[in-house]
A and B are shown apart, each in its own frame.
Chain A
Amino acid sequence: MCGIAGLQVRDPSLEPRLGELLTGMLHQAAERGPDSAGVALYGDARLTPPGHAAVSLLSPGLPAEEIAARVGGGADAVVAGQSVVVRSLVTVAELERAVRDAFPEAIVTGRGSDLAVLKGVGHPDTLAEEFALGRASGRQGIVHTRMATESAVTPEGAHPFSVAEDLCLVHNGSFANHATIRRELRAAGVVFDSENDSEVGARFVAAQLAQGYDLEKSLRLLCERFDGFYTLLVTTGDTFAVVRDAIACKPAVIAETDAWVAMASEYRCLAGLPGIESARIFEPEPEEVYTWQR
Chain B
Amino acid sequence: MATVTGPPATVTTVDLQTASVRDLNAALHTTVGGMAWHVAHPDGAHNLAVGIDADLDVVIDGHAGYYCAGMNQHATVTVNGNVGVGVAENMMSGTVRVRGNASQSAGATAHGGLLVIEGDASARCGISMKGVDIVVGGSVGHMSAFMGQAGRLVVCGDAGDALGDSLYEARIYVKGTVKSLGADCVEKPLRDEHLAELSELLKAAGIDEDPAAFRRYGSARDLYHFKVDNSSAY
Nearest CB to that of A28 among chain B residues?
Answer: B44
Nearest CB to that of B122 among chain A residues?
Answer: A283
Within the complex, the shortest CB–CB distance from B40 to chain A, in Å, comes to: 15
Cβ-based interface call for B160 (8 A): yes
Surface stretch bound by B, among A81-89, A94-102, A266-274: A266-274
The CA of A6 and the CA of B8, in the complex, are separated in Å by 41
Contact B101 A266, beta carbon cutoff 8 Å: no
Nearest CB to that of B179 among chain A residues?
Answer: A285
Which among A248, A268, A283, A285 is the interface contact of B63 at CB below 8 angstroms? A268
List residues of chain A with CB within 8 A of the CB of B72: none
Contact A268 B142, beta carbon cutoff 8 Å: no
Contact A268 B120, beta carbon cutoff 8 Å: no
Cβ-based interface call for A281 (8 A): yes
Contact A267 B123, beta carbon cutoff 8 Å: no
Cβ-based interface call for B65 (8 A): yes
The CA of A269 and the CA of B63, in the complex, are separated in Å by 11
Cβ-based interface call for B85 (8 A): yes
The CA of A283 and the CA of B120, in the complex, are separated in Å by 10
Known: A271-B44, A283-B103, A283-B123. A266 touches B141 (CB 8 A): no
The size bracket of the interface on B is 10 to 19
Cβ-based interface call for B144 (8 A): no
Cβ-based interface call for A286 (8 A): yes
List residues of chain A with CB within 8 A of the CB of B46: 31
Interface residue count on the A side (C-beta < 8 Å): 16
Which among B44, B141, B161 is the interface contact of A283 at CB below 8 angstroms? B141
Contact B160 A267, beta carbon cutoff 8 Å: no
List residues of chain A with CB within 8 A of the CB of B63: 267-268, 271
Within the complex, the shortest CB–CB distance from A172 to chain B, in Å, comes to: 13
Q: What 0/1 pattern do residues 196 to 219 of B give for CB contact below 8 A with A?
A: 000000000000000000000000
Interface residues in A249-266 (C-beta closer than 8 Å to B): 249, 251, 253, 266
List residues of chain A with CB within 8 A of the CB of B44: 28, 266-269, 271
Interface residues in B53-99 (C-beta closer than 8 Å to A): 63, 65, 82, 84-85
Within the complex, the shortest CB–CB distance from B117 to chain A, in Å, comes to: 13
Cβ-based interface call for B43 (8 A): yes
The CA of A253 and the CA of B102, in the complex, are separated in Å by 11
Cβ-based interface call for A282 (8 A): yes
Nearest CB to that of A253 among chain B residues?
Answer: B103
Within the complex, the shortest CB–CB distance from B132 to chain A, in Å, comes to: 21
Cβ-based interface call for B166 (8 A): no
Cβ-based interface call for B104 (8 A): yes
Which among B43, B85, B101, B160 is the interface contact of A281 at CB below 8 angstroms? B101
The CA of A107 and the CA of B196, in the complex, are separated in Å by 67
Contact B65 A266, beta carbon cutoff 8 Å: yes
List residues of chain B with CB within 8 A of the CB of A283: 103-104, 122-123, 141
Within the complex, the shortest CB–CB distance from B142 to chain A, in Å, comes to: 7
* 10 A-B pairs with C-beta separation under 8 A: A28-B44, A248-B123, A249-B104, A267-B82, A267-B101, A268-B65, A268-B84, A283-B122, A286-B123, A286-B142
What 4 A-B pairs are tightest by C-beta distance, nearest first? A268-B44, A283-B122, A267-B82, A271-B63
Given A28-B44, A282-B122, A283-B123, 8 other A-B contacts at CB below 8 A? A248-B142, A267-B82, A268-B43, A269-B44, A271-B44, A281-B101, A285-B142, A285-B161
Point out residues on A near B: beta carbons under 8 Å: 28, 31, 248-249, 251, 253, 266-269, 271, 281-283, 285-286
